Amino acid sequence: SALSEAERQEISDVEEACSWLKQLINDLDGQITSFSSILHYSHDFNNKIFPMIMEKVEGMDEETMSMLHAFFVEYEKAVRSVTGQLARQNALETIERKTKNTNPLVSDDDFQKFLPTLTSRNEPLQDIALKWLLRHEYVSTILVGMGSKEQVGHVQKVLESA
């Protein structure tokens, strides 16, 4: 049975949308290291990527939208991982550069003790930073922003382990 013109057009539209989404995903993969933070990615996603998707794939069925949503949930996790790794790498390079150059407040011995903590991927970067500050007598006050009771409990555990 031959397809009607409307059916052929619908198939063509779906193929075009799939091709466009595939290119978008390839472009995002290529840009993953350009996001400076998860906030940067979220801003781009909410203000650029999502509106562009909604415009392009108008009328998409619920199952496909659900799959697309699941993809972007996982992609955000990947961005979070990559930005965390980049932040650790930048922090390590900065501390190493400062230590080797002219920072009298950070001894080589202190840096070498701290290095395994900084390169650990199991500990959140904010916990590492807090522990780093707590190790130095020249730091008299640390302000920690917390937005929930859970964060208070988490910071308390970090302080106890430092």
Can you tell me the mean pLDDT for 139-159? 89
* pLDDT surpassing 90 at residue 44: yes
* pTM score: 0.62
In the chain, the amino acid numbered 102 is: T
Residue partners of 151: CB distance under 8 A and separation at least 6: none
Contact assessment for residue 113 and residue 128, using Cβ atoms and an 8 Å cutoff? no
Compute the mean pLDDT over every residue in the chain, rounded to the nearest whole number: 82
DSSP string spanning 131-149? HHHHT-TT---------SH
* pLDDT tens, position by position, 81-131: 898 888 877 777 776 666 565 555 556 666 666 666 666 667 777 887 888
CA atoms within 13 A on the CB side of 40: 12
Range name among 27-41, 69-83, 85-99, 142-156 with the lowest pLDDT average: 85-99
Model pLDDT, residue 73 = 93
